[in-house]
Amino acid sequence: MDTILVANAGSSSVKFQVFAIEANGNLRREIRGQVDGIGRTPKFRAVSGAGELLVERTYGHDVVGDVPAALNVAGDWLRDDRRINPIAVGHRVVHGGPDFAQAVRIDASVIGRLERYIPLAPLHQPYNLTPIRSILARFPSLPQVACFDTAFHRNHGPLADFYAIPHHLYAEGVRRYGFHGLSYEYIAARLHELAPANAGGRVIVAHLGSGASMCALKDGQSVESTLGFTALDGLPMGTRPGQLDPGVVLYLVSEKGMSPAAVQNLLYQDCGLKGLSGISNDMRELETNPDPRAAFAVDYFVYRVGLYAGMLAAALGGIDAFVFTAGIGENSATIRARVAEKIAWLGARLDQEANEARKLLISSRESQVAVYVIPTDEELMIARHTLALLPQPVSVN
């Protein structure tokens, strides 16, 4: 059985999935797992595609002290226990900069180009590149593919792409990129399967999770996004502030004496829901916490989603459908209901029972806008891109 391994590495965790390539070219999820708590209390856990527990182990921090060590643990288990030797590895890479508008086979020159974008995504990019280097060192002949969160948005027109700054800065790469593109690309494809009547229309997709953004789709293509040059813009997130006057950064540097590194740490680690509430970056905890600051953080999040829905509707000239996805969007009926109230002026009306049951279509019959809940699957999107870049035909054992 030929398989593709999908890897998504962070600062303290490595998530992976294994997809089998079926005879008809479809991909079947076989395993999903992760190693988290790297460097502290590492734990390795994996389940089958059906959710059956396959392995659960803990390690000393001296055994799994970094991402390469975590990769070795997961890789050894896949080879030795599951007899899986993937024919290729697909990676999520957050920032592709102006160079990469589609997935690409990885070599040393590609890695070098992607390293240039570390300052644009310091919370993600260096950790995305770590497993790539590690696998390249151990298995230099194993094909690897980089799949970018920015690529889906690279067909934006110049009015959506530019900042109002001198052109030479745009030429150097200072522009609005947008992120969560793998999620939006998957949702666009699923709409064609689940709601073909709306798939070619004007659709707002709200990817609401610890990282949050929204995207305007027209004819299944991204035309506008709430995120821009980095993953700091737009909606408030778990620990990131979202839209922020650049003057705030100047103030922190000039008046508060903060270093660029300190400002970066503040904006990526201590703002957003965490900063507003002073309690947590987890929406689940904030929704149930009686502290007024928790309620304020939730109110602020919903308010901003409503504001950006208006902006994206303006970019589209109206909307035909609205899609909730990602952790909060898929799982919080309360947030969905409150956001729907904010976009009632656009014609959205929810069916309360359908919303509570998290059905596919949660809008009521009288709603002028179809409202959906569609789980995202960035890993499957990565596996598809990886398969597409392999020499054809791929043999299936």
Per-residue pLDDT, 41: 86
Q: Which residue has the tokens 């396959």?
A: 54
Structure tokens at 3: 């398989």
Positions in the chain short of pLDDT 70: 393-397
Tell me, letter by letter, the H, E, C secondary structure of 201-256: CEEEEEECCCCCEEEEEECCEEEEECCCCCCCCCCCCCCCCCCCCHHHHHHHHHCC
Report the DSSP pairing between strands 144-148 and 202-207.
unpaired
Annotation marks residue 377 as catalytic: no
Per-residue pLDDT, 210: 92
What is the identity of the amino acid at 337? A
Determine the Cα–Cα distance for residues 70 and 76; give it in Å rounded to an integer. 10
Collect all residues with Cβ–Cβ distance below 8 Å to 139 and sequence separation of at least 6: none
Ordered alpha helix ranges (H), 234-377:
246-254, 260-269, 272-277, 283-288, 292-316, 326-331, 333-342, 352-356
Determine the Cα–Cα distance for residues 97 and 5; give it in Å rounded to an integer. 24
Closest CA to 36 of 63, 5, 10: 10
pTM score above 0.85: yes
Q: What's the farthest any 2 CA atoms get from each other in the chain?
A: 65
Q: Burial, 40: exposed, middle or buried (Cβ in 10 Å; 0-12, 13-18, 19+)?
A: exposed
pLDDT tens digits for 147-180? Answer: 999 999 999 999 999 999 999 999 989 999 999 9
Per-residue pLDDT, 394: 53
Judge whether 69 and 138 are in contact, CB under 8 Å.
Answer: no
Judge whether 117 and 51 are in contact, CB under 8 Å.
Answer: no
Per-residue pLDDT, 207: 98
Closest CA to 280 of 344, 208, 183, 210: 210
The per-residue b/e assignment along 172-201, b for 16 or more CB within 10 angstroms, e otherwise, is eebbbbbbbbbbbbbbbbbbeeebeebbeb
Partners of residue 33 on adjacent β-strands: 16, 46
Catalytic residue among 80, 99, 107, 149: 149
Per-residue pLDDT, 396: 47
Judge whether 320 and 203 are in contact, CB under 8 Å.
Answer: yes
Determine the Cα–Cα distance for residues 244 and 250; give it in Å rounded to an integer. 11
Structure tokens at 281: 């970056």
91 phi and psi angles, rounded to 5 deg:
-125, 140
Collect all residues with Cβ–Cβ distance below 8 Å to 317 and sequence separation of at least 6: 202
